[in-house]
Amino acid sequence: MKNDQQLSFRALRIFASVAESDTLTQAAEQLGITQSAVSQAIKQLESQTASELVIRRSKPIKLTASGKIFKEFVQHTLANAQRVISDIQMTSNSSVLRLNIGMIDSFAEIASRQIMQRIKPFATRLSIRTGVSGSLTDALLDHDLDMLVTSEPLEDHTDLDRYPILRDPFVMIVPNAYCLEQDVTPQWLSENVPFVHYAPQNRIGILIDLIAHRLSIKLKTHYELDSTQTLLRFVQAGHGWAMVTGLCLIRHPELLKGTKVLPLVDGANARYLSLLCHGGEFGNLPDKVASICQDIYTSDLIPKLTKIAPWFSEQAYTIEELPII
């Protein structure tokens, strides 16, 4: 590449448009400039790279082998530039960014304070709303929330971007009195011990019913509760056994006394938390927020889980992709 001239972002943007167009005229129309300006920009880039980049005589126009390599460079360069601009705008003292984030209760109760402290540099006003999944989902879809940390993937809403965060394993919590059996399995418990269930409107309750179906067991539900704290108290008092997730246990370790926390079928069942937001909004801030959530889970929450039971270290971890369920 010749060093007598700097590559201009204007020329790179023109080349990026040409690479996605059928003709130079079409690229010019999309950019709102003349075809002559497009041709001059391409010639300038070809001079600077000492390579032919575009086969103009082809209809539609095609990129040369060098042009294809250059296209990858241009796309990467422009994307990085846009990310930098977005970051500067978000952290600028002159920008006013109001950010409303929703979080399901089980995560917000143990992580919201740290998350707010870590996100504060990116927002001049930050609000975190908690509650059950259904109401938070409606708020996100109605644009009352900017982002939502949830276990619902909402796959039918293709306009939403998804940022995977963590795997939260389901476990069994059983009163000590029922753990005298040598082999305390979900099958044995479902046949011999009452079940303390979440209320039907709670997403964890829905997932537990799915797990029971997978395990081919019928739960003897005696109580339905909408509060994890109350559910743990019922189990602690010996009224039955329950299924919960690891995050549900961290907030109330005192309620685990007199009970056993046992893995559920080798940790094969879990819920997966992700951050959802409407596509194209807030630049790369959603990715930053998801990364902050992952860091807090790894550095603070997982160690608390392993104090409850060492095997959590193999079942609770951050994720880069949402599994196909």
Task: For residues 174 and 259, state if they share a domain.
Answer: yes
Q: How confident is the model at residue 90, as a pLDDT?
A: 56
The answer on 250 and 223 residing in a single domain is: yes
Reading the block at residue 302, the tokens are 């997982």
Torsion of Cα atoms, 91 then 93 then 98 then 102, to 10° = 40
Residues 151, 174: one domain?
no
Same domain flag for 29 and 72: yes
End-to-end Cα, the chain, rounded Å: 49
Distance CA 274, CA 250 (A): 19
Tell whether 272 is covered by a domain. Answer: no
167-208 per-position pLDDT tens digit: 999 999 999 999 886 688 999 999 999 999 998 778 889 999
CATH assignment of the domain containing 151: 3.40.190.10
| 242 falls within a domain | yes
Smallest CA-to-CA distance from 79 within 158, 13, 7, 147 is with 13
Same domain assignment for residues 50 and 132: no
Predicted confidence at residue 89, as pLDDT, reads 57
The whole-number pLDDT of residue 91 equals 54
Domain boundary among 35, 63, 91: 91
pLDDT at res. 251 = 87
Q: Give the CATH number for residue 82.
A: 1.10.10.10
Q: Is residue 308 assigned to a domain?
A: no
pLDDT for res 94: 41
CA geometry: angle 81, 86, 89, nearest 5 deg: 125
∠ CA 157-162-167, rounded to 5° = 120
The SS3 of residue 297 is helix
pLDDT mean by block of 10 residues, the chain; 325 residues: 68 90 88 89 91 87 91 86 65 61 91 89 83 79 90 85 95 92 86 92 88 94 92 96 95 93 87 90 86 94 95 94 76
What pLDDT shows up at residue 143? 86
Q: How do residues 265-312 score in pLDDT, each as one tens digit?
A: 877 899 999 999 988 777 788 999 999 999 999 999 999 999 999 999
* Residue 195 CB partners (closer than 8 Å, separation 6+): 189, 219, 220, 221, 222, 240, 241, 242
Tell me, yes or no, whether 203 and 217 share the same domain. Answer: yes
Among 256, 290, 253, 252, residue whose Cα is nearest residue 273: 290
Token pair of 10, please? Answer: 């204007």
Q: Measured between alpha carbons, how far is 208 from 190 in angstroms, rounded to an integer?
A: 13
Same domain, 172 and 217: yes
160-163: list long-range contacts, CB under 8 Å, 24+ apart: 160/276, 160/277, 160/278, 160/279, 161/276, 161/277, 161/278, 161/279, 161/280, 161/286, 162/274, 162/275, 162/276, 162/322, 163/274, 163/275, 163/276, 163/277, 163/286, 163/287, 163/289, 163/290
What dihedral angle (degrees, nearest 10) is formed by the CA atoms of 97, 101, 107, 113? Answer: 30
**Shared domain check, 65 and 82:** yes
For 125, what's the count of Cα atoms within 13 Å in the CB-facing half-sphere?
6
**Is position 323 within any domain?**
no
CB 143 within 8 A of CB 152: no
pLDDT at 78: 85
Contact of 312 with 245, CB cutoff 8 Å: no
Q: 199, 209, 219, 259: which is closest to 235 by C-alpha?
A: 259
Has residue 311 been placed in a domain?
no
Count of domains observed in the chain: 3
Query: Domain limits at 38?
Result: 9-91
